[in-house]
Amino acid sequence: MEQFLAIFATIVTASTPLLIAALGELVVERSGVLNLGVEGMMVMGAVAGFGVAFATGNPYLGVVASIIAGMLMSLLFGLLTLTLLSNQVATGLAITLLGLGLSALIGESLVGQPIARIPNFHGIDILIVASFALAGLTSWVLFKTRLGLVIRAVGDNHHSAHAMGFKVIAVRYLCVAFGGACAGLAGGYLSLAYTPQWVENMTAGRGWIALALVVFATWLPGRVIIGAYLFGAISILAYTVQTFAWGIPSQWLSSLPYLVTVAALVVISGNRQLMRANTPTCLGQSFVPDR
Amino acid sequence: MRLILEKRAERSWKMALASPLIAIALTLIFGGIVFALRGVEPLHGLYVFFIEPLTDEWAREKLIVKATPLVLIGAGLALCYTANIWNIGAEGQFVIGALAAGAVPVLFSGWQTPDVMLVMLILGAIGGALWALIPAALRVRYKANEILTSLMLVYVARLLFDWLVRGVMRDPLGMNFPKTVRFVGWQRLPTWGDIHLGALIALIAALGLAFMMARMLKGFELRTLGAAPRAGRFAGFSADKAVYFCFAVSGALAGLAGACDVMGVSKQLQTPYEPNYGFVAIIVAFLGRLNPVGVILAALLLALTFIGGEAAQVSLGIPDKIAKVFQGILLFFILACDTLILYRIRFESKK
């Protein structure tokens, strides 16, 4: 029993960063913007959070720093794609490459340093609770408030939204910044709670998995929770099975989350009805007002 | 004051050429600031990073060696991105190519005649192409996003490589080091100094692709499908076939690059093997204007950042991670400057 509770707690902590990052990206994509820089914003959040926690001794200040770092990276993305109308796919990749490089340089002196992790009660910490609140909040804002209606309108048809007098670019900046804050927080969770240390590339593709989760959830916050916990469970079970030494090569088990991501994308994307109902129509398109 | 983007009547080809130069200049300024923050005199730092490696014969050869895989991969990616097809998993295709080529010396260590070189290169290309065709097939058949699937397969490829090189492919007499046997005879590429035959292959491949894109129907087809998919369909071009074609070609080139790298540089497989050429080649493709000839120049510059990073670590005591920062910020500035190709920037005072 004790052991099962422990495994359950690790599944929850492994799922939380995926959940937070995917919720942020979901809002971004609902507004019609595809930010592929989640991995880069996340890893910057991880290094900034860890660095501040190490310097101040306070992990909560680290959390704040990780949110700010993620948001700054996302605003850089916004500047290029929303103001300078650059290609969103290429710019997202640039954010990821830049984030991975910059975090490695900044974190060079932090490798192997200890910090005080975020306190938890039987493995459950405040950010886990917050992640569920965040899921409820995004769902409520997107589907029950006027702001959510505007965000979805901008994402589904930016020309109509513009004609109705909504500020398309401003709404998108807001959503991109929110997505950056979430990605940063998710990264901070990794370095402050999940494994309280800094390692180069410590996000290990989780930002990309979060992106896949948004598709998997067909842009619905409730389903992001299911998806994030499914992936968290798979990655933890892969590690747990490893300890039983049933002769399954560790590399096979480690590649499981990535293979499952591919499989999940195939299953969901092949379902035409589900995709057509929820995919933001303007996803990935730059908005140029005609006047 | 308000910044306004005004659409140009047509693409400015002057800006298309000037944009990468402006981006490089901005990167140098940014680099100077980074050096200053690290307590290094900026001009001295930039000299050590970008100029000094070029003054040394040995480093010049190394530059070509590093540029070789970047040209091969970058030219293939340029093809994909022109057609608006997003293969970002070249790193995985590169690793599989190395694995496929390396399987030959592991299985037939005695086969050292010239034909083995050809077989290894071809196997590398086939391995990379097959690995790349997975995301292509998933996109065509199930509409699965090729960006995410091709990237996920990078991690899978690395783990597969690690498993095989630690396991069945390990050199039994290698004191348990995670390495294969050393390649011998024609299992290696002929070299001139450090430069290996791969450099010539890369040059031919890039020029061949440039000819195809500029002069052949296939090139026109890919450019049309990228710029105006509807027009392409009316012209009778198949978008699905283009996806298969682009992934197969770019995967084969990435696999070939992997084969050349292990046959010409390390001369054996060893894990971990994460040279990052596949990701840096994305920057090469954009800096090279998605043009295979431009890719050659861009690859030389990006190769310089690898070597400059090592130089900065040795003579300035700055971590070589700084190379990655320069690479990332360079792509960033290119994308920002490319706005000027289609738009004119005007400042308007608020009424």
pLDDT in tens, B289-330: 899 999 999 999 999 999 999 888 888 888 888 999 999 999
- B322 contact A CB<8A: yes
Has residue A1 got a pLDDT over 80? no
Torsion of CA B116, B118, B121, B124, to 10 degrees: -70
Sequence-distant (≥ 6) Cβ neighbours of residue A87 within 8 angstroms = A81, A286, B335
* HSE (side-chain half, CA atoms, 13 Å) at B187: 24
Would you state the pLDDT for residue B10?
82
- How far is it, in rounded angstroms, from Cα A236 to Cα A239? 5
Would you state the pLDDT for residue A291?
55
Question: Where is pLDDT greater, at A277 or B323?
Answer: B323
Contact yes or no for B155 and A98 at CB 8 A: no
If you measure CA to CA, which chain B residue comes closest to A107? B321
For residues B9-15, average pLDDT: 82
Nearest-CA neighbor of B329 among B6, B30, B7? Answer: B30
Percentage of chain B lying above the pLDDT 70 cut: 99
* HSE (side-chain half, CA atoms, 13 Å) at B334: 27
Does residue A283 lie within any of the structural domains? Answer: no
Nearest-CA neighbor of B64 among B244, B263, B300, B259? Answer: B300
Q: What average pLDDT does chain A have?
A: 91
For A149-181, how does the pLDDT look when each residue is reduced to its tens digit (9 = 90+)? 999 999 999 999 999 999 999 999 999 999 999
Interface of B with A in 170-209 (CB under 8 A): none
Residues from chain A contacting residue B286 (CB–CB below 8 Å):
90
Contact yes or no for A80 and B332 at CB 8 A: yes
Residues from chain A contacting residue B88 (CB–CB below 8 Å):
93
Has residue A284 got a pLDDT over 90? no
DSSP-assigned letter for residue B9: S
Of B86, B155, B324, the CB nearest to A255: B155
Question: A211 is in which domain, residue-wise?
Answer: 2-278
Helix then strand count (H, E) for chain A reads: 12, 2
Minimal Cα–Cα distance from A121 to chain B, Å?
A: 34
Q: Cβ(A43)–Cβ(A208) under 8 Å?
A: no
Task: Give the count of beta carbons closer than 10 Å to the beta carbon of residue B186.
Answer: 18
Task: Give the count of beta carbons closer than 10 Å to the beta carbon of residue A48.
Answer: 27
Minimal Cα–Cα distance from A250 to chain B, Å?
A: 8
Say which amino acid occupies B75.
Answer: A
Contact yes or no for B147 and A36 at CB 8 A: yes
Has residue A19 got a pLDDT over 60? yes
**E strands present in A129-257:** none
Q: What average pLDDT does chain B have?
A: 91
Domain B2-348 has CATH 1.10.3470: yes
B155, B280, B348: which to substitute to probe chain A, counting the most A Cβ within 10 Å? B155
Q: Percentage helix, strand, coil, to 5, in chain A? A: 75, 0, 20
Beta bridge partners of A124: A121
User: CA triplet B342, B331, B317: central angle to 5 degrees?
Assistant: 150
For B158-190, how does the pLDDT look when each residue is reduced to its tens digit (9 = 90+)? 999 999 999 888 888 888 888 888 898 899 999
Which run of H or E residues covers position B148? helix B146-166
- How many distinct structural domains can be found in chain A? 1
Task: Using DSSP, state whether B174 is helix, strand or coil.
Answer: coil
Would you state the pLDDT for residue B343?
85
Would you state the pLDDT for residue A51?
95
If you measure CA to CA, which chain A residue comes closest to B280? A97
If you measure CA to CA, which chain A residue comes closest to B159? A251
- How far is it, in rounded angstroms, from Cα A200 to Cα A191? 11
Find the largest Cα–Cα distance for chain B.
Answer: 81
Residues from chain B contacting residue A104 (CB–CB below 8 Å):
319, 321, 324
pLDDT confidence of A245, banded at 50, 70, 90? low
Of B152, B155, B321, the CB nearest to A101: B321
- B22 contact A CB<8A: no
pLDDT confidence of B1, banded at 50, 70, 90? low
Has residue B351 got a pLDDT over 60? no
Q: What is the CATH number of the domain that holds A112?
A: 1.10.3470.10
Minimal Cα–Cα distance from A252 to chain B, Å?
A: 7
**Burial status of residue A240 (CB atoms within 10 A of its CB: 0-12, 13-18, 19 or more):** middle
C-alpha distance from residue B13 to each of B10, B75, B289 (Å): 9, 21, 11
Does residue A291 lie within any of the structural domains? Answer: no
Give the ipTM: 0.90
Would you state the pLDDT for residue A32?
94
Q: Cβ(B86)–Cβ(B147) under 8 Å?
A: yes
For residue A284 the two structure tokens come to 């990935």
Contact yes or no for B331 and A93 at CB 8 A: yes
Percentage of chain A lying above the pLDDT 90 cut: 65
- How far is it, in rounded angstroms, from Cα B284 to Cα B289? 9
B7, B40, B148, B283: which to substitute to probe chain A, counting the most A Cβ within 10 Å? B148
- How far is it, in rounded angstroms, from Cα B241 to Cα B234? 15
Please name the residue ranges forming H helices in A79-120. Answer: 88-107
Would you state the pLDDT for residue B329?
93
- B274 contact A CB<8A: no
Would you state the pLDDT for residue B350?
61
Percentage of chain B lying above the pLDDT 90 cut: 62
Would you state the pLDDT for residue A112?
86
Beta bridge partners of B192: B195
- How far is it, in rounded angstroms, from Cα B208 to Cα B204? 6
Does residue A118 lie within any of the structural domains? Answer: yes
For A85-108, how does the pLDDT look when each residue is reduced to its tens digit (9 = 90+)? 898 999 999 999 999 999 999 998
Sequence-distant (≥ 6) Cβ neighbours of residue B182 within 8 angstroms = B171, B267, B268
